[in-house]
Amino acid sequence: MKFTLMLSEGPYTHQASDTAYQFAAAAIARGHEVMRVFFYHDGVYNATRLTEPPQDDRHIVNRWSALKEQHGVDLVVCVAAALRRGIKDEVLAPGFRISGLGQLVDGGIKSDRTVTFGD
Protein backbone atom coordinates (compact mmCIF):
# COMPACT_ATOMS: atom_id res chain seq x y z
CA MET A 1 0.00 0.00 0.00
CA LYS A 2 1.20 3.53 -0.77
CA PHE A 3 0.73 6.29 1.82
CA THR A 4 0.89 10.06 1.91
CA LEU A 5 1.03 11.61 5.36
CA MET A 6 0.07 15.12 6.40
CA LEU A 7 1.48 16.48 9.64
CA SER A 8 0.14 19.74 11.06
CA GLU A 9 1.66 19.86 14.59
CA GLY A 10 5.07 21.03 15.74
CA PRO A 11 7.69 18.46 16.73
CA TYR A 12 7.50 19.01 20.49
CA THR A 13 3.99 20.44 20.84
CA HIS A 14 1.92 17.27 20.97
CA GLN A 15 2.33 13.59 20.16
CA ALA A 16 1.42 13.99 16.47
CA SER A 17 5.00 14.26 15.16
CA ASP A 18 6.16 11.17 17.03
CA THR A 19 3.06 9.25 16.00
CA ALA A 20 3.44 10.22 12.33
CA TYR A 21 7.11 9.22 12.33
CA GLN A 22 6.38 5.89 14.07
CA PHE A 23 3.56 5.22 11.59
CA ALA A 24 5.87 5.92 8.64
CA ALA A 25 8.67 3.75 10.02
CA ALA A 26 6.28 0.88 10.82
CA ALA A 27 4.64 1.06 7.39
CA ILE A 28 8.00 0.94 5.65
CA ALA A 29 9.16 -1.94 7.87
CA ARG A 30 6.07 -3.90 6.80
CA GLY A 31 6.81 -3.39 3.12
CA HIS A 32 4.52 -0.46 2.39
CA GLU A 33 5.62 2.75 0.69
CA VAL A 34 5.43 6.17 2.28
CA MET A 35 5.50 8.32 -0.80
CA ARG A 36 5.37 11.74 0.82
CA VAL A 37 5.07 13.52 4.14
CA PHE A 38 3.50 16.95 3.79
CA PHE A 39 4.25 19.35 6.66
CA TYR A 40 1.45 21.88 7.07
CA HIS A 41 0.52 24.61 9.61
CA ASP A 42 2.79 24.25 12.67
CA GLY A 43 4.02 20.96 11.23
CA VAL A 44 6.54 23.00 9.24
CA TYR A 45 8.59 23.30 12.46
CA ASN A 46 9.51 19.63 11.95
CA ALA A 47 11.70 20.76 9.06
CA THR A 48 13.99 23.33 10.63
CA ARG A 49 17.64 22.53 11.29
CA LEU A 50 17.58 25.13 14.07
CA THR A 51 15.90 22.63 16.41
CA GLU A 52 18.21 21.62 19.26
CA PRO A 53 16.55 19.29 21.78
CA PRO A 54 18.43 18.27 24.94
CA GLN A 55 20.93 15.43 24.41
CA ASP A 56 18.78 12.96 26.33
CA ASP A 57 15.66 13.71 24.23
CA ARG A 58 14.68 12.39 20.81
CA HIS A 59 15.59 14.57 17.82
CA ILE A 60 12.46 14.42 15.70
CA VAL A 61 13.86 16.56 12.87
CA ASN A 62 16.84 14.22 12.48
CA ARG A 63 14.49 11.23 12.42
CA TRP A 64 12.62 12.71 9.45
CA SER A 65 15.90 13.50 7.66
CA ALA A 66 17.05 9.90 8.19
CA LEU A 67 13.76 8.58 6.79
CA LYS A 68 14.41 10.57 3.60
CA GLU A 69 18.02 9.41 3.39
CA GLN A 70 17.32 5.74 4.07
CA HIS A 71 13.99 5.26 2.27
CA GLY A 72 13.62 8.17 -0.15
CA VAL A 73 10.47 9.55 1.48
CA ASP A 74 9.59 12.92 -0.05
CA LEU A 75 9.52 15.50 2.78
CA VAL A 76 7.54 18.52 1.57
CA VAL A 77 7.08 21.70 3.59
CA CYS A 78 4.12 23.92 2.69
CA VAL A 79 5.52 27.20 1.36
CA ALA A 80 2.74 29.43 2.69
CA ALA A 81 2.80 27.90 6.19
CA ALA A 82 6.61 28.01 6.27
CA LEU A 83 6.89 31.64 5.23
CA ARG A 84 4.27 32.67 7.80
CA ARG A 85 6.51 31.12 10.44
CA GLY A 86 9.82 32.47 9.14
CA ILE A 87 11.04 29.19 7.70
CA LYS A 88 12.93 29.51 4.43
CA ASP A 89 15.17 27.22 2.39
CA GLU A 90 18.29 28.25 4.29
CA VAL A 91 17.00 26.87 7.61
CA LEU A 92 15.67 23.55 6.29
CA ALA A 93 17.15 20.36 7.69
CA PRO A 94 18.66 17.90 5.19
CA GLY A 95 16.11 16.10 3.03
CA PHE A 96 13.29 18.63 3.30
CA ARG A 97 12.06 20.82 0.46
CA ILE A 98 9.58 23.68 0.25
CA SER A 99 6.71 23.44 -2.21
CA GLY A 100 3.04 24.22 -2.57
CA LEU A 101 -0.20 22.64 -1.43
CA GLY A 102 -0.45 20.96 -4.81
CA GLN A 103 2.07 18.41 -3.53
CA LEU A 104 -0.45 17.28 -0.93
CA VAL A 105 -3.12 16.93 -3.61
CA ASP A 106 -0.67 15.05 -5.85
CA GLY A 107 0.19 12.71 -2.99
CA GLY A 108 -3.48 12.06 -2.32
CA ILE A 109 -4.08 11.19 -5.95
CA LYS A 110 -1.05 8.90 -6.28
CA SER A 111 -1.41 7.15 -2.90
CA ASP A 112 -3.84 4.53 -1.72
CA ARG A 113 -4.35 6.35 1.58
CA THR A 114 -3.69 9.82 2.97
CA VAL A 115 -3.31 9.84 6.74
CA THR A 116 -3.48 13.08 8.75
CA PHE A 117 -1.67 13.67 12.04
CA GLY A 118 -2.48 16.70 14.18
CA ASP A 119 -5.40 19.04 14.40
The answer to whether 17 is a known catalytic residue is no
Of 78, 81, 92, 98, the active-site residue reads 78
C-alpha 69, offset from chain centre: 13
Q: How far apart are CA 52 and CA 34, in angstroms?
A: 26
- The one-letter amino acid code at 59 reads H
- The one-letter amino acid code at 5 reads L
List active site positions: 78
